[in-house]
């Protein structure tokens, strides 16, 4: 299941009071501690003497100076960037000429470039290279930045200019895109408080600032729990785990000062292989409890009180802004429009998913009972820490497929080449690795020039940060350090994919699971979306939350195509391609375990919506989670993919709050889009790919995305394609 999405540009922050947070494996011959040589950018006079504020220089229209990162420089940089941005916006406000699109919206869309560059640097500092000092700076400055942007957007003189243009939008010669910008900007300013009284505006500023501080506190607490390890002193406890993975655990323990032991980090990429493969049930339970208990241990890192305060403030803000609930506020500018529409889609899928889980559990229990009867296994009732382990036994029994057979063929560097090759065949995107041509923020980050295969024209640069490290937030995400636009001069794209894979032991390639391989292709789908984008106005770039995941989920489909598997799924020792018999088993088992996958995700989405679609804020977080899951019939053998105390999507920012449903909304379009490829003759049909690219990927938010989808498909998406994909009844 995908994890996250791109960070918005500063231009979008200027259009909204809400502040949102927001590959390549090493070559097997490269020593684990080797540093890529980094070419420093040409010297440029920094703004105010601070190198973090200097315009980016070097190749590819300028690149971030990662070699200049220093947490202590950020407070001064924030001060100076805020002053510069304020001056740029004030110049628009003070323009004595009558408001027009050209003298108001254009300079507003071009304002804040220094701040936007600074946010790109700070995003990496907080997400990829955090430290206690960085967390402290974030806790101090997130509220200040929130207040700054909220106050900027609530300036009555700025709103007056917007309203004057809005009122005459149909009589002033504006084209369709300009009218869309005017209407969306006006509506967003009203939605975010432009018509509030001065006293209520002050309340809103304070609320947003306090929320930002709470988001920072939540993130710090969660990161602290994810830095913890489960240490193993007896290697026998690791029976069933792959030798390469065991070696990586030994290396992690040594790095933690405990040579001769094995360290399992409290993150999904480390915990999941244990839950799936370890024969030692006690170890599985121990690792499971540590992982699902993140943020919920009653200690200094417990997040429950922080979440309760966030919920209280969110509801108060929604009411201040004239909305019934936080969910209504957050969904006003989405494809789904209302909480009821999102819930309706989720409840179309939920009953079938739960029914399938009961079938899956029965299959697993039969195997466990048979093993107990034969004396080859313990007498147990399937518990959550057993699910992944016994599902592999069912997979083996039903499809003669063992995940351990597959993983040796899934080399991270080969899969990277596969996703690049697929993008070339579908969209004419080419990728050339840069070694030492641009700075990187970690020696293991690799960069690739992106270019058009037909014209050789540069499209941008892709940064790949694949591996887990202390100070890096969990999960996987894509962001852009610079996004495309033609206003003010065409800009190429600096995109970044970030994962948390467990690196192979020294001298060995990194092998990943099918789930991790899907994540790799998913995040790259986000990258493709932004690399292909071609919009004039940056305020028509960012798409609705429930569209964001659509291009990335579509891209997952190409992973299991025969062409990709035959060409890139090669054994890490022999170099032989994956046998066709094994490929056939994988394809035959694609609908396997869909009950678990769907319920694990959908429970999180339903709880999110129920948590935020209410007028009385929840105060007892654990009780609400427990009671809501009981109400909807959550199978006891599964927990939410993200329990509330660790649900970073919801509580590290506003970004996915009342919005986690969007993965299902997007997947409905994804399944229907894949059906379009199949109807046209296969996954590589260029006519469908070209329509997908030109109508949906290149156009940002230039038109309503529901209308754009209808233009692509000839109708609205059909949920039957999703149900069929998962093997659920369609009637």
Report the b/e string of 596-609 with b at 16+ CB within 10 A: bbbbbbbbbbbbbb
DSSP of 43-106: P---GGG-GGGSPPBSTTT-B--GGG--GGGHHHHHHHHHHHHHHHHHHHHT--SPP-IIIIIH
**Locus of tokens 């002033």:** 172
Catalytic entry in 36, 88, 449, 523? 523
Handedness of CA 112, 182, 460, 8 (dihedral sign): positive
Report the b/e string of 298-310 with b at 16+ CB within 10 A: eeebbbbebbbbb
Do the Cβ atoms of 208 and 19 come closer than 8 Å? yes
Do the Cβ atoms of 102 and 109 come closer than 8 Å? no
* CA angle centred on 496, ends 127 and 660, rounded to 5°: 65
**Cα–Cα distance measured from residue 446 to residue 469, given in angstroms and rounded to the nearest whole number:** 15
Q: HSE (CB half, 13 Å, CA atoms) of 131?
A: 7
The H or E element containing residue 539 is: none
**Cα–Cα distance measured from residue 571 to residue 248, given in angstroms and rounded to the nearest whole number:** 19
Helix 594-612 with 304-320: angle, nearest 10 deg: 60
- Give the three-class secondary structure for 721: helix
**Cα–Cα distance measured from residue 180 to residue 167, given in angstroms and rounded to the nearest whole number:** 13
> For this structure, is 523 an active site residue?
yes
Q: Measured over all CA atoms, what is the biggest interatomic distance in the chain, rounded to whole angstroms?
A: 88
Q: How far is CA 3 from CA 181, 304, 478, 552, in A?
A: 29, 22, 9, 11
- Show Cβ contacts of residue 680 under 8 Å, excluding neighbours closer than 6 positions: 687, 688
Q: What is the DSSP letter of 718?
A: -
Q: Which residues carry out catalysis?
A: 523
């Amino acid at each position: 299941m995908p994890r996250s999405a791109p960070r918005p540009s500063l231009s979008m922050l200027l259009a909204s009071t809400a502040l949102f947070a927001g590959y390549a494996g090493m070559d097997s011959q490269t020593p684990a501690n080797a540093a890529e040589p980094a070419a420093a950018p040409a010297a440029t006079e920094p703004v105010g003497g601070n190198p973090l504020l200097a315009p980016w220089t070097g190749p590819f229209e300028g690149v971030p100076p990662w070699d200049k990162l220093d947490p202590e420089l950020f407070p001064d940089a924030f001060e100076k960037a805020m002053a510069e941005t304020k001056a740029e916006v004030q110049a628009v406000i003070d323009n004595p000429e009558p408001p027009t699109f050209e003298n108001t919206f254009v300079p507003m869309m071009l304002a804040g470039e220094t701040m936007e560059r600074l946010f790109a640097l700070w995003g990496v500092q907080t997400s990829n290279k955090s430290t206690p000092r960085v967390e402290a700076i974030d806790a101090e400055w997130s509220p200040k930045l929130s207040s700054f942007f909220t106050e900027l957007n609530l300036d009555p003189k700025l709103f007056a200019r917007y309203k004057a243009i809005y009122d005459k939008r149909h009589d002033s010669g504006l084209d369709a895109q300009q009218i869309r910008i005017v209407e969306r900007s006006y509506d967003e300013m009203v939605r975010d408080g432009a018509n509030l009284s001065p006293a209520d505006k002050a309340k809103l500023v304070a609320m947003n600032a306090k929320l930002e501080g709470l988001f920072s506190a939540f993130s710090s607490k969660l990161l602290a729990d994810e830095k913890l390890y489960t240490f193993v002193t007896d290697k026998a406890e690791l029976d069933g785990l792959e030798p390469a993975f065991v070696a990586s655990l030994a290396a992690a323990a040594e790095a933690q000062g405990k040579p001769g032991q094995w360290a399992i980090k409290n993150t999904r990429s480390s915990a999941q292989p244990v839950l799936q493969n370890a024969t030692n049930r006690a170890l599985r339970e121990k690792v499971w409890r540590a992982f699902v208990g993140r943020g919920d241990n009653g200690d200094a890192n417990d997040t429950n009180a922080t979440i309760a305060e966030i919920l209280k403030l969110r509801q108060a803000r929604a009411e201040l802004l004239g909305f019934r609930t936080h969910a209504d506020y957050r969904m006003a500018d989405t494809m789904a429009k209302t909480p009821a529409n999102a819930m309706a889609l989720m409840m179309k899928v939920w009953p079938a998913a739960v029914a399938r889980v009961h079938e899956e559990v029965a299959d697993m229990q039969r195997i466990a009972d048979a093993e107990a009867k034969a004396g080859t296994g313990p007498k147990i009732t399937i518990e959550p820490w057993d699910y992944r382990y016994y599902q592999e036994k069912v997979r083996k029994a039903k499809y003669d497929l063992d995940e351990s057979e597959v993983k040796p063929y899934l080399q991270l560097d080969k899969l990277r080449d596969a996703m690049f090759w697929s993008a070339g065949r579908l969209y004419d995107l080419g990728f050339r690795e840069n070694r030492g041509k641009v700075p990187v923020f970690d020696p293991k980050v690799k960069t690739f020039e992106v270019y058009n295969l037909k014209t050789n024209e540069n499209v941008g640069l892709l940064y790949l940060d694949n591996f887990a490290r202390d100070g890096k937030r969990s999960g996987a995400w894509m962001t852009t350090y610079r996004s495309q636009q033609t206003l003010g001069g065409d800009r190429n794209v600096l995109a970044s994919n970030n994962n948390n894979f467990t690196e192979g032991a020294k001298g060995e390639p990194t092998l990943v699971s099918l789930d991790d391989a899907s994540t790799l292709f998913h995040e790259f789908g986000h990258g493709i979306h932004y690399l292909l984008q071609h919009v004039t106005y940056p305020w028509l770039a960012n798409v609705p939350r429930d569209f964001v995941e659509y291009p990335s989920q579509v891209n997952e489909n190409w992973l299991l195509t025969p062409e990709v598997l035959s060409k890139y799924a090669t054994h890490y020792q022999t170099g032989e391609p994956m046998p066709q018999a094994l490929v056939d088993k994988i394809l035959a088992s694609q609908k396997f375990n869909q009950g678990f996958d769907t319920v694990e995700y959908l429970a999180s989405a339903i709880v999110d919506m129920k948590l935020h679609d209410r007028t009385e804020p929840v105060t007892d977080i654990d009780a609400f989670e427990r009671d809501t899951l009981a109400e909807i019939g959550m199978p006891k053998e599964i927990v939410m993919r993200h329990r509330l105390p660790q649900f970073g999507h919801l509580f590290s920012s506003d970004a996915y709050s009342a919005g986690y449903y969007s993965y299902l909304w997007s997947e409905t379009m994804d399944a229907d889009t894949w059906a379009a490829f199949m109807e046209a003759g296969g996954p590589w049909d260029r006519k469908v790919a070209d329509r997908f690219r030109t109508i949906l990927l290149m156009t940002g938010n230039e038109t309503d995305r529901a209308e754009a989808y209808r233009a692509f498909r000839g109708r609205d998406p059909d949920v039957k394609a999703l149900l069929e994909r998962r093997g659920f009844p369609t009637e």
